[in-house]
Chains A and B, each alone.
Chain A
């Protein structure tokens, strides 16, 4: 796993962005950026090239699943790995995310080890 990869953390709650960034820093990542919903994430993607998107599902304006669909529909961003980190744990949500092309899925609450394991699965 390339620890210099550029990561975009998308969540409407600053608390969760902070917790995720703390965990990513513990793993060794340094190039960490954030957005507070799907639409601001898309603006950020236009500004800079990202290697990984970590996004919540339930967000105002543009949700995580809408962001995922927009990313996968884009010629430019469609190959960016996308980790959904969400409180939405019902089967229907997981199926919907898989159909939309999510790379992996973490249910809140989570441990640092779970995030690390999911990233290893995505990047091999």
Chain B
């Protein structure tokens, strides 16, 4: 696993959650993910092109995303609804943007599409590209979430 690719996504995630939601997440050990089952209840996916082609996804469990969005809005969110799904799309967009900024400084220019969001217990996230799927687990006070990065080339 290339730390030059993984670290910008870890840094971006910490920055986005710290700035927009005042949440400090702790990072677990990145691993190669073999199956397609999402590690949570709601996923944001965004396509990347440029220095390499692929997708990144961010999957939150209910506890983590309700806390994150509650902090972002300044009011308690209690249900995984369309507002939460919309927020996951925007969080994915921001994480992608911050990571691409750091990757640009390393000479890798990426362009991003508009994110999509998938919800449901046990939903699947299938990255079409053939590259290795690197999963980065995070823990927050109220739950966990995972970033998957799948880039080919």
Contact = CB atoms under 8 A, between A and B. Distances in A.
Contacts of B100: 89-90
Interface residues of B, number: 24
B109 A90 contact: yes
B102 to A, nearest CB: 9
Nearest to B82: A14
A12 B114 contact: yes
A111 interface: yes
B114 A109 contact: no
Contacts of A14: 83, 86
Interface of A is mostly: loop
Contacts, number: 62
A75 B94 CA distance: 34
Contacts of B87: 13, 15
A14 B96 CA distance: 18
A89 B90 contact: no
B31 interface: no
A87 B96 contact: yes
B5 interface: no
Interface stretch (A16-24, A47-55, A95-103): A16-24
Interface of A: 12-16, 18-19, 22, 58-60, 86-92, 107-111
Contact of A109 (B16, B73, B104, B112): B16
A11 to B, nearest CB: 8
Contact of B98 (A16, A87, A92): A87
Contacts of A88: 97
18 contacts: A12-B114, A14-B86, A15-B83, A15-B86, A15-B89, A16-B90, A60-B114, A87-B94, A88-B97, A89-B97, A89-B101, A92-B109, A108-B20, A109-B16, A109-B19, A109-B20, A109-B98, A111-B19
Can you list the 4 inter-chain pairs with the closest CB atoms, starting with the nearest? A87-B97, A109-B19, A89-B101, A13-B90
A13 B104 contact: no
Interface string B95-131: 0111011001000010010100000000000000000
A58 B72 CA distance: 21
B112 A89 contact: no
Contacts of B74: 22
Contact of A13 (B15, B20, B69, B93): B93
Contact of B73 (A22, A60, A108): A22
Which of B74, B83, B97 has its CB near the most chain A CB atoms (within 10 A)? B97
